[in-house]
Amino acid sequence: MPKTITYHSLQKSFLPIWLLSICWVLLLLSPPKVEAQLTVRDSVTKRMKAFERQSLGEKVNTEYIDLLNQLASEYIYVKADSLIKLSRQALSYSKKIGYTLGECQALANIGAFYSSNGINYKAITHYTNAIKLADSIGNIPLKTEFINQLAYEYTYLGDYEKALKNFLVGLDLADESDNKLMQSKLNENIANLYASQKEYDEALNFYTKVKKINDQIGDETIAAETFSNLASLHIEIGNFEHAMFNINQSISIFEKHKITDWLAYAYTVKGDIYINLKKYGWALYWYDQSQLLHKNLEDDRSRINLYNGISRAYLGVGQDSISHIFALKAMKIAKKIRSLEGQRDCSETLYLINKSQQNFTEALTYHETFQQLADSLNRDETKRTLMLLETKMKHSKDKQLLIAESEKELAKQRNLIRVSIIVLLLLIGLTVPLYLKQKKLKRLYKALQVNAENLRKNEAELNTINKTKDKLFSIIGHDLRGPLGALQGILKLVTSGEAAKEDFSRFAPKLKSDVDHILFTLNNLLSWGYAQMNGNARKPKTVSLNTLVQGNVNLLSEVANNKSIKIVNLLPDNCLIRADENQMDVVIRNLLSNAIKFTKENGLISLEAEEDDRMWRIKIRDTGVGIDQKTQKKLFNENTNVTTYGTNNEKGTGLGLSLCKEMVLKNHGEIWVESEPQKGSTFFFTIPKVTKKYRKAS
């Protein structure tokens, strides 16, 4: 915020009544140039309320804390009670959830509260803690901002040495991080520091830097803040033309953007220009504009300057009683926030008022107070000027030493790098041949690994082939040779004449049964052999499972009728699957054949289907002899060949169920059985449904 303004002693002067009347008419007709700065605050408040409604009261999180801190900062110079309440709430929540960023922002806002109330030591404590936390999380922009605020606090205490030291430290951080905004603020604050010690040339040098930085930033509100402070500096120098030019520029920008606190300050500075020009009516006009805005602000330091300026203006137009009221109000605030400069300026004004009213005793008292404060501050100013120079020189010296040490350290590092490079080159010279040799060995090792892996695969394939061969010969030897031998014997009896041709009809059912068995076995054998040779080869398409089931029911109906077994097909018409048709045909035929084989006469076999999101689950239930737990475990084992006999001595190959399992798995399904001896069996298998895209394609 703006620095403290030092007012010059003024002679009492009067304006013509007509000019004063015009000023008051203008004041009455002109409303405040801007409204209170509520837009940002209202926006943040709305967001907070919306957030609270959405989160149903669970508001302790980082987003809510950020909103609390943002809203709190909007109340600086506006509503101190809301500032401290929201900041403490944000601090409590931040500590509760371990949110360091929120904690350091809340500490800085609390520091601003104590600063505006003149409790400087507490403000310094909070800013210092905020700096430490910002440093702990590596947030350089926040750390720089808090150092700037801490430095300003030291200026209020009159400790300009610490103030300048912190400003310079902050400026170094801003330069390192190329933070243009903080470069502008810190250079401007250093300029104001020198201006307060009447080091105007040095102050103007810093303002030249500030203007260049502001041009790079390109933000007119930041430039307007600089114009306001520069106008104040030109008042102290006595260059009122430059002061007026700068303050008019800043006012137009602040009015445009409705920046209330800075606009109130700018109006006060414009009033100060007219005071120095002894145009008291115009001074009152601009002071009143500032006072209207101050109704919505809580900025005691600015109020001291404003009320003291109003007092001087009324003194200038000869209204001593009103002048006295405002001077006392200014003095009260200055004492409250312990502002020595404010007390000095107010004492001088009260001295002039009492002198004008011929209250010589009071005038003498205020003059003595003014003289004591002025002498004290002047002595301090001399010391401070020396301290500022010493601090700046010390900081520059420390910086140079640090640069020199850094250069030495860099030189050492360069030497170490050179030595390291030499050592590295030597190591490369030694290790390259070893590396090439190792690379060659790695290639040989990889080749050996590949060969070993190929041998393992070949061995596995040979084992599979041997198992397939053994199984094939077992089936041919045990399951095909017997029926073929029986067929051969019957045909031999008939052809040799040992059995009459009339007797042949007695053997016909037996022959048909054996031929059907041989054909069924050969079909399974061919399917199994094809599957073994072709691996995972399958040709999926959209298949009507109901059609496949009905075809196999028709095929096996004669066998079922011979045992008076009823087969019931309960599958829905829309039972469409995505699978290999031939493989599914083998699965259904084998499961249905097994059900017939192990179901006693007059039994029942039913086929049902249930669907879920992706699969059809098929159930083939019989009222047969059932299967014990031990046999169930072996049924689908590809390494086990379980040969069993049906209820009418029908012989099986043991190949069917393992073939079913293989076919179902290849079509992305599963197969299992549930059974109890003498209570029948239910074989289940799942198969993928037809999706919409396949249904469209089909």
Q: pLDDT (tens digit, 9 = 90+) per residue, 58-77?
A: 557 888 899 899 888 888 87
pTM: 0.49
How is residue 535 annotated by DSSP? T
N residues, the chain: 698
d(C-alpha 50, C-alpha 66), whole Å: 14
- Give the helix/strand (H/E) hosting 578: strand 576-580
CA angle 599, 564, 678 (to 5 degrees): 25
Q: What is the pLDDT of residue 530?
A: 60
In our burial notation (b when 16+ CB lie closer than 10 A, e otherwise), range 291-301 reads: bbbbebbbbbb
Q: Are residues 137 and 103 in contact, defined by beta-carbon separation less than 8 angstroms?
A: no
Which tokens go with 127?
Answer: 């800013």
User: CB within 8 A of 647, min separation 6: which ones?
Assistant: 563, 597, 598, 599, 600, 601, 624, 625
d(CA 47, CA 181): 27
Which stretch of DSSP H or E encloses residue 394? helix 360-475
CA-to-CA distance for 160 and 376, rounded, in angstroms?
A: 15
**Selection from 1, 119, 11, 6 nearest residue 378 by Cα:** 6
Show the CA angle centred on residue 637, arms to residues 634 and 643, nearest 5°.
Answer: 60
What is the torsional sign of CA 309, 310, 316, 318? negative
Give the CA radius of gyration of the chain. Answer: 51
**Do residues 112 and 83 touch, judged by C-beta distance below 8 A?**
yes
Distance CA 460, CA 452 (A): 12
Among 325, 336, 331, residue whose Cα is nearest residue 365: 331
Q: Which residues of the chain have pLDDT under 70?
A: 1-59, 377-408, 461, 464-490, 492-494, 497-537, 638-655, 692-698
CB 324 within 8 A of CB 20: no
Burial class of residue 435 in the structure, from the number of CB atoms within 10 Å of its CB (0-12 exposed, 13-18 middle, 19+ buried): exposed
Closest by Cα among 266, 287, 265, 263 to 275: 287
- Alpha carbon distance 304, 25 (integer Å): 26
Contacts of 73 (CB under 8 A, 6+ apart): 109, 112
How far is residue 494's CA from residue 500's CA, in Å, rounded to a whole number? Answer: 6
* H helix intervals, 476-577: 481-496, 504-534, 545-555, 557-562
Angle between helices 220-237 and 260-276 (to 10 degrees): 20
Specify whether the CB–CB gap between 188 and 206 falls below 8 A: yes
- The number of C-alpha atoms within 13 Å of 464 and in the hemisphere containing its C-beta is 11
Question: What pLDDT does 79 receive?
Answer: 82
Question: Residue 684: enclosing H or E segment and its boundaries?
Answer: strand 681-688
Largest CA distance in the chain: 168
Percent of the chain with pLDDT strictly greater than 90: 35
Q: What angle do CA 414, 401, 162 make, to 5 degrees?
A: 140
Cβ(388)–Cβ(193) below 8 Å: yes
As a whole number of angstroms, the distance between CA 70 and CA 64 comes to 10
Contact between 334 and 304 under an 8 Å Cβ cutoff? The reply is yes
Which backbone phi and psi does 129 adopt, to 5 degrees? -65, -40
- Nearest alpha-carbon partner for 542 in 687, 357, 336: 687
